[in-house]
Amino acid sequence: MSKIATDQLSREAIVYIRQSTQTQVLHNHESRRRQYGLADRARNLGWSEPIVIDDDLGRSGHSYTRFEHSSKEITLLHYQHG
């Protein structure tokens, strides 16, 4: 029996991939592989197609533009499906 309810699976699964600097992007392959692996984990748990946000890779903290936008989308989805 799954601990994940059907109503939970009807919601979006979102994986945010984050490495702050170009150096991290170039050298921390294992960390990035594991972060992308979270999307595979979500699929294995029953989500059909998780949303992967990786637009901010290699950008410092002051430029999380995609994350900020996605956070607002997530908040709206939460209140719509409340």
Active site positions, annotated: 20
How many residues can be counted in the chain? 82
Q: Taking the alpha carbons of 63, 66, 69, 71 in that order, is the dihedral positive or negative?
A: negative
Residue 26 to residue 74: CA distance in whole angstroms: 29
